[in-house]
């Protein structure tokens, strides 16, 4: 990745009149803004269908797209919906917060109308889409079954045979729920049709998309239900242990994620075929893949199933370069980022060095006066990505208000400024000046937003993933300011530079 810069903004945070950001007009407008601002990258969060807690890191499928992101006005333009179909539908009343409850109650009814209006004329294209996405039949049946079984997780379904994914049960329910299965296939077709169009627009305008790939998948997902042999499960497909991280900066009890752990020994037998298919799907969507919790490839924190916190786990060795090397060599046309935050051992450092993937440096972690931090700008290397903060961090303005006095004092001394406003600008400037190949800030940081705009607080189950941009949030003059900064610090998108020169 060449010297450049970008902005982190989830798809869900884009403005729209229908409750959540979509792949429609606001996405195209944001790409236009990135282009005008001299940025090279748009970093987003995972785009899969969300489940428990509305977290994009707990999805019903690692392959599928979130139906909420399907733009309704684009469906109107295609003749699949009318504005009358949207009259009186409650998608939530707050333009700056996603109401996932309202979306769950009302969005699928609208999409069902689009399906009924479009299924006949789009059947040939749909069939081609299904044939080219081998994960889709299992996912669509999984979603149809969830509705059939009152949205209970698959491991609580009343029919043991379908819970255990037995072939005869698959055949039986595929016939019984044929229309519902077709509906879920169709809305994936709509999602990817809009995604491909949006991504092509980004390419045409010189903007790359950095996607986020969680290392783990959700227990209640089509991935685990249809591939139980890939995970550490007992004979009833119940986890033996689940994923998390030990106590750390974010949470004194650690984080109990609850994801099932991979059975890497079995995965190795077919050359990690499931991982190859997974990354192949992501590589078709994104220009760069940020692998979340990369250190889990070296060793992972396994918590006995049923524990209430992550304290009583243990480290288990992972596949390390045996898997990472296969992925980077197999997908040599895709760039990867190793999310290397958290507890890093010499073995983890060696894995990242051996992989030659860029690391992450977070400026909000840099100014601890009692430690010699690798996150301080003068310690950055070129093969890294510098962030003000990630989606798990406070926006920079909130951090400045809540950081320990000693951190603020050290930051002021290090950056040679005094006062919150000056420090805010100095931290952004330090990131732009850094030797890191790429600098990325949250959109909230460029807008100087505070605590109400935080994306996620790790270790909490509710109130996250809700923040949205208001329609007029980005001032007209911001693009020029960011463009000038990118030019001064040698991060100007080369495609933009060609145009302006």
C-alpha separations of 96 from 9, 292, 383, 455, 468 in Å? 14, 27, 36, 12, 4
Q: What is the pLDDT of residue 121?
A: 84
Contacts of 461 (CB under 8 A, 6+ apart): 53
d(CA 491, CA 2): 9
d(C-alpha 445, C-alpha 424), whole Å: 9
Q: What is the pTM of this model?
A: 0.95
Report the greatest alpha carbon distance in the chain: 70
Range with the lowest mean pLDDT among 45-54, 247-256, 453-462? Answer: 247-256
Active site residues per annotation: 292, 339, 392
Mean pLDDT of the chain: 95
Compute the average pLDDT of residues 209-221: 97
**Residue 497 pLDDT exceeds 60:** no
Rounded Cα distance between 470 and 449, Å, is: 12
pLDDT (average), residues 445-465? 93
Task: Mark out the alpha helices in 227-272 (DSSP H runs).
Answer: 264-269
Question: How far is residue 250 from each of residues 339, 358, 363, 394, 487, measured CA to CA in Å?
Answer: 16, 23, 15, 11, 35
Under 8 Å between Cβ of 75 and 190 = yes
CA 287 distance to own-chain centroid: 14
Helix (H, G, I), strand (E, B) or coil at 368: coil
Question: Residue 151: what pLDDT?
Answer: 96
Start-end of H helices in 152-310: 160-163, 167-176, 178-204, 222-226, 264-269, 273-283
Provide the β-strand partners of residue 5.
Answer: 439
β-strand 288-291 against 438-442: which pairing, if any? unpaired
- The whole-angstrom separation of Cα 378 and Cα 383 is 14
Of 40, 43, 153, the residue nearest 443 (C-alpha): 43
Q: What is the pLDDT of residues 48-107, one digit of tens each?
A: 999 878 999 999 999 999 999 999 999 999 999 999 999 999 999 999 999 999 999 999
Say which residues have a Cβ less than 8 Å from residue 476's Cβ, sequence separation at least 6. none
Condensed to tens digits (0 to 9), the pLDDT of residues 307-346 reads 999 999 999 999 999 999 999 999 988 899 999 987 789 9
Cβ contact 46:56 at 8 Å: yes
High-pLDDT (> 70) share of the chain, %: 98
Average pLDDT over residues 180-202: 98
Under a CB-based contact definition with an 8 Å cutoff, are residues 190 and 136 in contact?
no
Determine the Cα–Cα distance for residues 419 and 57; give it in Å rounded to an integer: 37
Q: Is the pLDDT assigned to residue 286 strictly greater than 60?
A: yes
SS3 445: helix
- Determine contact, residues 137/130, Cβ cutoff 8 Å: yes
End-to-end CA distance of the chain: 22
pLDDT at 496 > cutoff 60 = no
| Rounded-to-integer distance, Cα 219 and Cα 234, Å | 13
Q: Which helix (H) or strand (E) holds 4?
A: strand 4-8
pLDDT of amino acid 495? 59
DSSP secondary structure letter of residue 336: E
Residues in the chain: 501
Residue of 406, 401, 473 whose CA lies nearest to 442: 473
pLDDT value of residue 250: 64
- Counting residues of the chain whose pLDDT is more than 90, the rounded percentage is 90
How far is Cα 212 from Cα 497, in angstroms, rounded to an integer?
Answer: 28
| 501 pLDDT higher than 70 | no
Annotate 190-225 with b (16+ C-beta within 10 A) or e (fewer): bbbbbbeebbeebeebbbbbbbbbbbbbbbbbbbbb
Helix (H, G, I), strand (E, B) or coil at 99: coil
The confidence score (pLDDT) of residue 458 equals: 86
Closest CA to 272 of 317, 328, 314, 344: 328
Sign of CA dihedral 212, 214, 219, 224: positive
**Residues 48/216, Cβ–Cβ less than 8 Å:** no
Average confidence (pLDDT) over 161-182: 98
Q: Round to whole Å and give the CA distance between 389 and 436.
A: 15
Judge residue 96's burial from the number of C-beta atoms within 10 Å of its C-beta, 0-12 exposed, 13-18 middle, 19 or more buried.
middle
466 and 20 Cβ atoms separated by less than 8 Å = no
Statement: residue 34 has pLDDT above 90 = yes
Residue-level pLDDT at 500: 45
Per-residue pLDDT band at 498 (split at 50, 70, 90): low
Query: 291 in helix, strand or coil?
Result: strand
Cβ pair 335, 1 in contact under 8 A: yes
Cβ count near 151 (within 10 Å) = 11
Lowest-pLDDT range, 178-192, 236-250, 277-291, 444-458?
236-250
Averaged pLDDT, 256-280: 96
Model confidence at 11, in pLDDT bands (50, 70, 90)? very high
Supply the angle between the helices 167-176 and 136-148 in degrees, to the nearest 10: 70
Do the Cβ atoms of 360 and 338 come closer than 8 Å?
yes
**Band of residue 494 on the pLDDT scale cut at 50, 70, 90:** confident
């Amino acid at each position: 990745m060449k010297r450049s810069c970008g902005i982190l903004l989830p798809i869900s945070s884009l403005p729209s009149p229908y409750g959540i950001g979509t792949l429609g007009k606001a996405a195209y407008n944001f790409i236009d803004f990135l282009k005008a601002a001299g940025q090279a990258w748009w970093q987003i969060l995972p785009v899969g269908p969300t489940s428990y807690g509305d977290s994009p890191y707990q999805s019903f499928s690692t392959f599928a797209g979130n139906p909420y992101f399907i733009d309704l006005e684009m469906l109107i333009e295609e003749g699949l919906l009318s504005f009358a179909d949207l009259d009186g539908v409650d998608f939530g009343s707050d333009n700056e917060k996603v109401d996932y409850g309202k979306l769950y109650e009302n969005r699928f009814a609208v999409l069902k109308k689009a399906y009924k209006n479009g299924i006949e004329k789009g059947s040939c294209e749909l069939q081609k889409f299904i044939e080219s996405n081998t994960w889709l039949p299992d996912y669509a049946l999984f979603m149809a079954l969830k509705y059939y079984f009152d949205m209970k997780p698959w491991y609580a379904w009343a029919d043991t045979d379908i819970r255990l994914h037995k072939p005869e049960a698959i055949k039986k329910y595929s016939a019984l729920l044929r229309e519902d299965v077709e509906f879920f296939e169709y809305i994936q077709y709509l999602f990817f049709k809009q995604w491909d169009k949006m991504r092509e627009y980004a390419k045409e305008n010189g903007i790359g998309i950095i996607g986020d790939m969680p290392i783990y998948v959700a227990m209640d997902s089509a991935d685990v239900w249809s591939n139980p042999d890939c995970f550490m499960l007992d004979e009833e497909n119940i986890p033996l242990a689940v994923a998390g991280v030990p106590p750390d900066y974010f949470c004194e009890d650690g984080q109990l994620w609850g994801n099932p752990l991979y059975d890497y020994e079995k995965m190795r037998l077919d050359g990690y075929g499931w991982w190859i298919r997974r990354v192949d799907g992501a590589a078709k969507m994104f220009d760069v893949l940020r692998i979340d919790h990369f250190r889990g490839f070296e060793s992972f924190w396994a918590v006995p199933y049923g524990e209430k916190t992550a304290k009583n786990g243990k480290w288990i060795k992972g596949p390390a370069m045996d898997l990472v090397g296969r992925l980077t060599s197999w997908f040599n046309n895709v760039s990867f980022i190793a999310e290397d935050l958290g507890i890093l051992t010499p073995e983890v450092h060696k894995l990242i060095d051996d992989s030659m993937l860029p690391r992450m440096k977070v400026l909000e972690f840099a100014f601890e006066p009692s430690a010699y931090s690798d996150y301080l700008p003068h310690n950055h290397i070129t093969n890294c990505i510098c962030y003000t903060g990630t989606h798990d961090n406070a926006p920079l303005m909130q951090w400045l208000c809540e950081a320990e006095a000693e951190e603020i004092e050290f930051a002021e001394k290090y950056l040679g400024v005094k006062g919150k406003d000056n420090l805010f600008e100095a931290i952004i400037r330090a990131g732009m000046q850094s030797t890191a190949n790429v600098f990325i800030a949250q959109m909230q940081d460029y807008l100087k937003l505070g605590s109400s705009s935080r994306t996620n607080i790790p270790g909490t189950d509710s109130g996250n993933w809700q923040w949205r941009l208001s329609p007029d949030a980005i001032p007209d003059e911001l693009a020029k300011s960011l463009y000038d900064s990118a030019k001064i610090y040698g991060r100007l998108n080369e495609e933009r530079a060609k145009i302006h020169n």
